[in-house]
Chain A
Amino acid sequence: MSTDEPKPALDVDALVADLQARAAERSASGAYDAALGVPFETGQSGVQLRPWIGRSTRPVVGPALSFTKRGLMRLQQPVLIDLASQVSSALARQQARLDAESVRRAELEEQVAELTDRVAKLEADRGHTAD
């Protein structure tokens, strides 16, 4: 590349500030309300460990029972966490399949609606021709 070549000047910071101002103006006018109003939904699901279920409220022996239960839970925790994550993954996979089916179904319903419209138009055209 020649060093004599004229270099186009670009003040990136100023440009970004300008873009932000333009975006704010258009957003304020409500131009993007439809696009900005739809939340991204993750459909979270899963199994979680709830350590507080090991707490005993019995009088006198409660603290000792809580201590023992917590100790036992702690010993089993690695296994329980692994099982919980396996169940969560399985649930997530099933949810993904269900979601994919829903998307596919919505697409098919759109196609059906489109085809129904076309059939209706064709029938209407045929009716006009017959007249």
Chain B
Amino acid sequence: MDAVTEQAVRWRDTLRRRGVGGGIFAANVDPAMAGEVHPLGKLRDHPDEAVVLHYSIWSEALERALRIPRSRLAINYQNITPGRLLEWANPNVAALCDRGRRELCRLVGKVSVAIAASSFNAQELTSVGFGDVAVVPLILPAVQSPSNAPPADKPAIITVGRVVPNKRLEDAIRALTVLRAQLLPAATLDVVGGWNGFEPYRVALGRFAARLGVSDAVRFHGMVGDAERDRLYRQSAAYLCTSEHEGFCAPLIEALAAGLPVVARDAGAVRETLGGAGLVLPVGDAPVVAEALHCVLMHDNVRAALALRAQRRLAELEPERVESMLHAALAPILG
């Protein structure tokens, strides 16, 4: 399940728990989600019902939403990856992203409620003309048993998310190469996430790792289920995010919950999402990333300080708390 659908499901579930029924409709339904998500054509407008448009790319859903009266329409802006970052690997998706950004302004004045997962996203909405925007972070599962185990002899660094060019995984592979060259020769990198539609990028990354001589140290797991993803988090010693565009980045919080120290590039909403609980680097320069990884892996005091901040950040993002924020934000259309 992609991150946008995942949030739509969590919103639906939390609303149901509070007595608000409803369903999820999409222009393109993944066959694996056929039971959870209904085709957009089946959405019937009813005067007693409200609609939330989860907006992350252009689709027919925008046209459908524009036919809903303002008093019953909300937008949840999930941010849109700039097309230029994706174009070489998938021009079709890039074109839809750019169209999504271009046509976002059509919703100005057409919604009663505007919600964004971060101030970064909210800023983008206000810059195109939206008025009040409520910031409601992503609803993420409660932390079960976070661990803060010291790194093993062969530290595994993990990065989670779609294998798409804006994630700049080439920077992660280069940083791993630098780390292994001088600082931690046994370090490895686990890349967890699917590359459907972005096969050229996956191939280019494999070739790049081979040219750098780290093919054996970089493992591409593809898309995995939650249980396998959590197992990989538990086996890891640090989390790395080299992405150059993020509207929130849920894996950062998952990593904090798993007790991992986080090293991330300062891009989009990353700094805001971490809330001081990770090492945020101004650039994705490989030697600096490698030094930062070495630092969090080898220095207990740094890990301990980051872990303490992580607990504070996780408390701020407790699902019950976020759910209350969501209900307050949606109140104008829920009646």
Contact = CB atoms under 8 A, between A and B. Distances in A.
A96 B207 contact: no
Contacts of B309: 10
B181 A34 contact: yes
Interface string B178-211: 1001100000000000000001111110111011
Nearest to B285: A23
Given A8-B304, A89-B91, A99-B203, 16 more contacts: A8-B301, A8-B305, A10-B301, A19-B292, A20-B291, A22-B291, A31-B182, A36-B174, A36-B178, A36-B287, A41-B204, A42-B204, A43-B200, A89-B90, A100-B199, A103-B207
A96 B203 CA distance: 6
Contact-residue bracket for chain A: 35 or more
B170 A26 contact: no
Interface stretch (B18-26, B120-128, B275-283): B275-283
Given A35-B181, A85-B91, A96 B200 contact: yes
Contacts of B204: 40-43, 99
Given A8-B301, A19-B291, A24-B287, A1 B281 contact: no
B279 A16 contact: yes
Interface string A37-67: 0101111101000000000000000000000
Contacts of B14: none
A7 B306 CA distance: 10
Interface of B is mostly: helix
B4 interface: no
B200 A95 contact: yes
A15 B170 CA distance: 25
A16 B287 contact: no
A92 B280 contact: no
B292 A16 contact: yes
Interface of A is mostly: helix
A75 interface: no
Contacts of A103: 203, 206-207, 210
B97 to A, nearest CB: 13
Contacts of A85: 91-92, 95
Interface residues of B, number: 47
Nearest to B283: A20
A43 B211 CA distance: 14
A30 to B, nearest CB: 11
Contact of A32 (B91, B279, B287, B292): B287
A89 B311 CA distance: 45
A31 B257 CA distance: 35
B290 interface: yes
22 contacts: A9-B305, A10-B305, A10-B309, A15-B302, A16-B281, A16-B292, A22-B291, A32-B181, A32-B286, A35-B181, A40-B174, A40-B204, A41-B207, A42-B200, A42-B204, A85-B95, A88-B91, A92-B89, A92-B199, A96-B199, A103-B206, A107-B210
A103 B199 CA distance: 13
Contacts of B174: 35-36, 38, 40
Contacts of B279: 12, 15-16, 19
A40 B207 CA distance: 9
B288 interface: yes
B295 interface: yes
B261 to A, nearest CB: 11
B212 interface: yes
Contacts of A88: 91
A16 B306 CA distance: 14
Contacts of B29: none
A106 interface: yes
A36 B179 CA distance: 12
A34 B161 CA distance: 28
A116 interface: no
Interface in A63-91: 81, 85, 88-89
A15 B291 CA distance: 11
Contacts of A22: 291
Contacts of A111: none
A99 B301 CA distance: 44
B14 to A, nearest CB: 26
Contacts of B215: 107
